Amino acid sequence: MLENKVALVTGAGRGIGREIALTLAEYGADVIVNYNGSEERAKAVAAEIGEKGRKAVVMKANVSDADEVAALFEQSLKEFGRVDILVNNAGITKDNLILKMSEQEYDAVVDTNMKGAFLCMKQAAKLMLKQRSGRIINIASISGIIGNAGQVNYCAAKAGMIGMTKALARELGSRSVTVNAVAPGFIETEMTDVLPQQVKDGMLAQIPLKRAGQAKDVAEAVAFLASEGAAYITGQTLQVNGGMDM
Ligand code: NAP
């Protein structure tokens, strides 16, 4: 399905990003495994992709740093000559009620999630406009759609990513580049492991499918949006949340 495609997945050393990288490789793509702090885990993901018979390289870059993102794309081009699929998955949370939320907590979350996606999309747009094809998939969140107490920063960033998705879909559509978002609900990763059991139980109670999501659930949605079959879908947000929001 994705043979001869090159995918760049940000934050692919662990969690949802790791599963996206592995799944795109299973469907035939070669993968640039971006990481920021998790070097060893990123190398393990690349090794696993190699075992599947696909090419993978690890590249370190902090997505919120414009110079590092420019270098990431430069290196990707050197290595593969093109980037067909960009998945903006890198993200962090720094939850707090607004009266306690520091400016630093706000900035860090917006910089990593939203500005990081902006910087990567800017680089990808340049390439994909020339290629006259491409797929950009932004990992947003249910929090950016319905809101979540304690996450003013994260909700702003994720809602912002959905807005940017629509704007860029309009900018790049005439060159057959699609831009979509995937908005996961409650997915079991290190990001949600830290939540108190009471909060987890509260979320589970709101999920019609009666289970937490797995990274693989998100990865399969991303693979679909990256595929030829999704060529006429752009500017959309696909919710992967077990029915938590409809
Ligand atoms: P996670 O397990 O905490 O992993 C976060 C990933 O983001 C790591 O690979 C990390 O890389 C990377 N990252 C963080 N800051 C980065 C930076 N400045 N530059 C490059 N990479 C960076 O979280 P997850 O649950 O897999 O989340 C992945 C995405 O899904 C995030 O955008 C998150 O907001 C979104 N999401 C998650 C859920 C959920 O329930 N888990 C729900 C909705 C949306 P390093 O370790 O290498 O630093």
Confidence of residue 149 (pLDDT cuts 50, 70, 90): very high
98 vs 164: CA distance, rounded Å: 24
Domain ranges of the chain: 6-239
Q: Six-digit token pair at 186?
A: 């409650």
- CA of 188 relative to ligand 1 center, distance in Å: 12
What pLDDT does residue 207 have? 98
- CA of 14 relative to ligand 1 center, distance in Å: 8
Residue 96 near residue 150 (C-beta atoms within 8 A): yes
Tell whether ligand 1 has an atom less than 6 A from the beta carbon of residue 182.
no
Q: Whole-structure pTM over 0.95, yes or no?
A: yes
Taking only the tens place, the pLDDT of each residue in 92-111 is 999 999 999 999 999 999 99
Question: Identity (one letter) of the amino acid at 237?
Answer: T
Tell whether ligand 1 has an atom less than 6 A from the beta carbon of residue 139.
yes
Residue 143 to residues 13, 47, 148, 151, 196: CA-CA distances in angstroms? 23, 33, 6, 8, 17
What pLDDT does residue 235 have? 98
What pLDDT does residue 124 have? 98
Q: What is the mean pLDDT of residues 60-76?
A: 98
Taking only the tens place, the pLDDT of each residue in 197-237 is 999 999 999 999 999 999 999 999 999 999 999 999 999 99
Closest by CA to 94, choosing from 107, 84, 82, 81, is 107
Q: What is the mean pLDDT of residues 47-54?
A: 97
Tell whether ligand 1 has an atom less than 6 A from the beta carbon of residue 18.
no
Taking only the tens place, the pLDDT of each residue in 151-205 is 999 999 999 999 999 999 999 999 999 999 999 999 999 999 999 999 999 999 9
Tell whether ligand 1 has an atom less than 6 A from the beta carbon of residue 90.
yes
- CA of 242 relative to ligand 1 center, distance in Å: 20
Q: Which of 14, 107, 222 to mutate to test the pocket of ligand 1 (most atoms within 8 A of CB)?
A: 14
Residue 18 to residues 71, 160, 208: CA-CA distances in angstroms? 21, 24, 26
Q: Which of 86, 92, 161 to mutate to test the pocket of ligand 1 (most atoms within 8 A of CB)?
A: 92
Angle 39-51/15-26 helices, nearest 10 degrees? 20
| 27 classed as catalytic | no
- CA of 181 relative to ligand 1 center, distance in Å: 15
The CATH classification of domain 6-239, taken from the options 3.40.50.720, 3.10.20.30, 3.40.50.300, 3.40.1280.10: 3.40.50.720
